[in-house]
Structure 1
Amino acid sequence: MLLLGITTRAWAQPEAYNWKFGEQSGIRFPAGAGPVMSPGAMGTYEGCASISDAEGVLQCYANTETVWDRNGTIMPNGRLMGSHSSATQGVLLVRGPGQARWYYLFTVDALENNLSGGLRYSIVDMSLRGGLGDVQATNSRPLPVPGNGLVAEKLTAIRHANNRDYWIVVHGWNNNSFYAYLLNGQGISTTPVVSAIGSVHSMAGGPLSALGYLRASPNSRRLASAQMRPGGVELFDFNPTTGQVVAMRNLPPVGASPYGLEFSADNSKLYIGDDRLIHQVDITNNLFISTLPIPSNRVYALQRGPDSRIYVALAGTPLLGVIQQPNTAGPACALDAKGFTLSTGRVTGGLPNFPNAFAPALLINPVAAGCPGSVVEFSTSTVPPAGGIFTWIFDDPASGAANNATGPTATHRYTKGGTYTITLTLTAPGPIFESTQRTITVPDAPGFSLGPRQQLLCHGQTLTLSAGTVPAGTTFRWQDGSTSPTYIVRTPGRYSLQLTSLQGCTAHDSVEVLAADAPVVRLGRDTTLCGGWQSVVLRATAQPAGSTYQWQDGATTAEYTARQPGVYWLEVRNQAGCTTRDSVVIQNAAPGNCPTVTIPNIITPNNDQRNDFFVLQGLTASDWDITIYSRWGQPVYEQTSYTNSWAAVGQPAGTYYYLLRNPATHQQLRGWVEVIR
């Protein structure tokens, strides 16, 4: 049994494998490797978000106004309110803690709308529309924001210290407050944790103070904020347990118009996009700043990919800059201004807005299902919270109590092939409840039969054994090691076949072949017949029940009446399939060896004792049945085993017609006779 390896969920998390952004642009990261093209249907200037499931399958994507399903179709309830396409981090998608199929979609408004939309959320339910999902009927629900209800164009999600929940963090407008809303298994809190720290975001710093990114480090311990004004970057410590912004780092003024922010995967570097420059802040080296130029192109969003590289939005081009080694200090970080070229679409200001790190999803690790009767092993790599209990249901109710198990690993034995949906649930105090499913297919064992347990082999003949029709890819192994689909048996004995399916499942069958006797058939000696009226009845010797017959002309009766000279043969097949054939030659009898047959055509029934009766001469009359017909076809006389006694009693003179039938030989003689009175 092969159990596929458990994946370590560092930053290379499948939820970020698919990106949709810009003007019908998109890339994906197969299995977390480098990007390939994957265009989308969306057009957006800045804010955008994408989300995939725990196995890297795209679920949906959105800008600040519209939600698309994975096929690029706008969801039926996918029109959003209260935001604007120019909002820096205008939209964010996060899987609901404890919810395998619910994704929270958050939006903030843009300065173009005077930030009036505030902070809103919707829920995308991926169980709807056959797994394509839809936004729940009530969307764009406002969340209470303290004070004036306004927030800047900043929106991020920070993974909680419990590795399960999130803090949804925004920054107030006309104040210096960060608002952190807890998203947990009970939903989104409506009362934020407020941290008044750092600079005031307001028009006093210029209208562009509302613009710029808010980013947390992968370990949730640092928080960076950018205002698009000189020296507008601030670096803070963040408490992922309480949601508080607790301390401000003394970051030297950097940048004339900072916009995009991103941390390296190892939390050691902060990158700042600033017009045609990228600044690297080495957090582990006294906040030392290195500056890297991007010739000719303005830098907008920065986003860390599942491959741990940082991608740079170069607005108005088909280009993504790439920082190849973000953990490395200074120019050795290997900034490539033309790191990836889109084959379709165009980059604008935004790249997908992801949480700083994804909470581990409840996930059933990939499973290789064996053949019926073998043990299938299941496991989850999810680390449970204190008091957490894993419960498995194997979709096999016929197995009774074995259909359920508990613990991070489990085994089950399926006795039949088929498709089974495995359900894993996690329960813990809190309350915490999360459920996920995985479908597995247990291949059917190859079903076949070589036929009856005992079979008969006729002397001098062969018997063909076969498994019949089997799936493509099936292999054969007979008792002597041969591998043909069929086997020709020539001698009695035991014969067996093992089939192996393409999936490696085996089945076995065997038969005992016994010697069978051939039927004994004797038609007798060659003989003669007298043509014209005589026939010969041919009969086989007595045969066992179930025997079949075939004569030379295809007849299948046990008896055969020969009326002409020739060679006649009979083949008898018994129940074992053995056949025997015998033949006989029938010739015309030599002249003088046949009796003279005379059937009169005139009688004179006048009681003169001469020719009064219709008398058959040369035939034994009692061997024949007779019927006499009038000239109009009406029967006027019938007798079984004729006695030569018809005298046309009660019939007028005239012409009559006779039919003679021999019931033993099935011979018939026809003619006419004149009655004269």
Structure 2
Amino acid sequence: MMILSTCLVRAQAEDNIWAFGFNVALDLNSGSPVELSGFMTSANEGTAAISDADGNLLFYSAGQQVWNKDHELMPNGTGILGHEGSGTQSVVISKYPGSDSLYYLFTLENYENIPWSTIGYLRYNIIDMSLDGGLGDVISTEKNILMDSFMGEKMVVVNDDGCGYWLVTYNWETSAYHSYRITEEGIEPPVISPGENPCGIIGEIKISPDGSKIVNAGDFESNIEIASFDVSTGEVSDFIVVNQVMPYGVGFSPNSEVLYINTEGSQLLQYDLTGYPVEATVAASEYTVSSSAGISTLRLATNGKIYSVNFFTTSIEVIHDPNELGAGCDFEADALMLSSGSVWIGIGASIAVNQNANMGSDLSIETYAPGLAATGEPSCIRGCASARFRIMRPDTDLEEEQTVHYLIEGTGVNGTDYEWIPDQVTIPAGSSYADIYIRPQVLPDLKVLRTVSLKILDTVGCSNNPIPLTILSDTVVILDSIYVSVVPGDTSICKGETVMLKAETNYEDYLIWSPDAALDPSPDVPVVYVRPDASVSYTATINVPWSGCDVEEDISVISISNETMVVNLDYTAYSDPICIYDTITLKANGGYSYTYFNRFNDVLGSDSVLDVIVPDRYYEYIVLALDERGCLDSAVVSVQAEPCCEVLIPNAFSPNGDGVNDRFGVVTDGHPEEFRLEIFNRWGERVFISYKPEDTWDGTYEEGTPADAGVYFYTVKGLCYGGDLFRKRGDLTLVR
């Protein structure tokens, strides 16, 4: 079924001002992004901003503070428990249903307040725009309210099937989707939908504009989980997975039929979702839009374009026509160069807003009807489809029912009559739209080209111009309604993988798969699962006794691996405890080729053994490995380091050039963030100063003259990683 809109839909302007990155903001009220100044965000990834219905800024946040439209902190806008460091979708904003002044601010907090931790607590805050003279403030009794825990960096808000919203998050521990309905009464308990493919902590989660699909980018797991989303129940189901190395950003086209994925390898990829839920069909539709796009979240704007950033630059990228497949999507790398501020990998969270439509007295409808493809002169062709047309009024919500009548001018098309259901439609109170359907009926002896047009009349007699629906223009058509199509196509798999085979046909009762060995569940259902140990070919056959024709299609499933690949990752430390900025050695085994990444997905190297520096208290290293057959596995190792702040100072040295005790300096077991060593002679004159522990005194003055033997005095002070201060003073003896 194809969903066809009968109006031009204009999204309200609440999502037209974006604040992200480091003091970056864009205004899209004119239809094109215009750079703004004065914004206070300082964020690697997650930010959110919201405007009123006319596109005037209300407030914005990076998860730990809330700024009003004048770029001043709200009186109670500090101390928000949000993500410290960097979180993909760590903050989102939602309107409060039924209120003109209240808004929800949802945040994901670091686990146990550990900086840069990706394991989060889900919390909400309520902002009242009637406070502080209309500039807004966080309600003190509705601040940092805990909702859930063990959430990944994934969070999105979408419209439900009424006047409310869904907040959808992802639990990294259980791989389950938690959907919270937001109503006038508040936030309901979550609807929990277990996922089928662990998607980890990092990467975006998005729901399509029509609310029918949800996509989860499993960055470290190197997979993309695609599923159905039910806006009436919040349930997630019908999962498929597309393997892709470290996907991060997710974007949908306005028509919800094209998916865009941004990877840690700077690839921008496109997938055709009209093949969903057939996993192999979606995977096979992959198209590389760009191999040098910046790592970024993706954001669909109200102008119908998708924007992204190029990390550590001032460049904004854009997909101009995201509904178009292939090169027609028109990707532009440097569409906008920022004059101030900078970006990392986040472009901010979209706002879920209700939509309205403008249906004038002369309605213009851009649409197309379901087609029957001409196939020359075979005995069978591939058959029929239905289409849904949506009739919309300019009222966002009607107070009373309104009936729209429509006339049908003309009849069907080559060999086809079209049945319209019904002949009028009622838009109910509390809604702004209603649907009508067209259903083709195959007539085997009728081969005259026909046209169909749609004419809509409202209750007072106003109507639009007739809208022609182009159905078919081929001149040679032999019609029959039996068809079968098998997906995926010929497929190569690794040992132990399961493949779903799906036969798309209009005569399921006459379907037989062969061979029938090892089919799950049985050979006479459209969808079966196979897990072959060797190369095998499967055939789906349709044989309708009264039709006089058989239809069949083959697919080959080839198993190329006789071993299961398992990669292991470990490390060797050279001190106990490990100090921050110490070097450790990573070692992976079990694969053929390796690629190491840090927690920010920077590529560190490709050798099986790699020396790395530990730059933080808690750090993760990831290795992706391929075996000789192309099968993929990954492993993660966590390293915990200590600040280490012990300082050792000798009391004498002899700079005589013999290579022993020739220099005086400070010995530390860590790497101070700040350091200062000063040495004075007995008259209080400074003879040496150093700002690094490794810079030591060789017993000479600045001009190179050797200093006299005797007693000197030193002071040393510094700041260790973690905030500990140290300060020492004493004397030393220069011996010659």
Q: How does the TM-score come out when normalised to structure 1?
A: 0.49
**Bigger-Rg structure (1/2):** 1
